[in-house]
Amino acid sequence: MNHPSSIEKYINKNRDEFDQVVHPPRDRMWEAISSEQGKTHPWKIQLGRNWRWSIAAAILLALSVGWWVQRQPQPPEPGLQNLAHYFPELADEEARYQALISNQETMLEIDKLDKTLYRDIFNELKELEKIHRDYLADVPAYQEQELLVRTLIKYYERKLRILERLSYEIEKQKIHENRTHEILQ
């Protein structure tokens, strides 16, 4: 003998109300749906069927912007002086090195080079520039340290060596291209 539970009693008692079918006002429902479709919510982002492509495009855009910002030349730090500013006796030596470097960069046409072909060398130059700026920033605090001054002079020598290595790599690339061209003919 099963005794009906309280839920079953409630259902049986209200059976007539449950069995009544209520027809919603269709015209009003469709009007409400139509009016909501035309509205745009400023804080609501709607993703369509191709939401994965949208996310991939956003990620690609963010990476591209980051890469582009990284590739932009860094402006010189304000307030950094050259070595001759702190040590006038080194002005001639520093000017000579700067002229040699400028001449080498002009001869190599460094601005026209494809930096991706010589990525390692350009990364090395970039790192050398960063170290040089860091050392120059330390000069006011350590002016009396001759080792720091000599390190700053060595910067020019190292940069010249790297530019010479770049020149050598460019020549190797030209020789390789000429040999490839001769073989193909």
Is residue 76 very low, low, confident or very high in pLDDT (cuts 50, 70, 90)?
very low
Euclidean distance between CA atoms 158 and 180, whole angstroms: 33
Residue type, 172: K
Residue 40 per-residue DSSP state: -
**Count of positions (residues) in the chain:** 185
Kindly write down the DSSP assignment for every residue of 55-121, as one continuous string. Answer: HHHHHHHHHHHHHHHHHSPPPPPTTPPPHHHH-GGGHHHHHHHHHHHHHHHHHHTGGGS-TTTTHHH
pLDDT of residue 46: 64
pLDDT of residue 34: 78
| Residue indicated by tokens 């390789």 | 176
- Of residues 176 and 139, more confidence is placed in 176
Within a 10 A sphere around the Cβ of 166, how many other Cβ atoms? 20
Residue type, 128: L
Euclidean distance between CA atoms 113 and 52, whole angstroms: 38
Question: Each residue of 26-40: pLDDT tens digit?
Answer: 888 888 887 777 666
Contact 81, 136 (CB under 8 A): yes
Question: Each residue of 1-52: pLDDT tens digit?
Answer: 567 788 888 888 888 887 887 777 888 888 888 777 766 666 666 666 777 8
- Of residues 71 and 79, more confidence is placed in 71
pLDDT of residue 50: 75
Q: Which two tokens stand for residue 55?
A: 């996310």
Residue 67 has pLDDT above 70, yes or no: yes
Residue 54 has pLDDT above 50, yes or no: yes
Question: Each residue of 124-162: pLDDT tens digit?
Answer: 888 888 888 887 787 777 766 777 777 778 888 888 888
Q: Is 20 left (phi over 0), alpha (psi -120 to 50) or beta?
A: beta
Residue 74 has pLDDT above 70, yes or no: no
Assessment of whether the complete model's pTM goes beyond 0.85: no
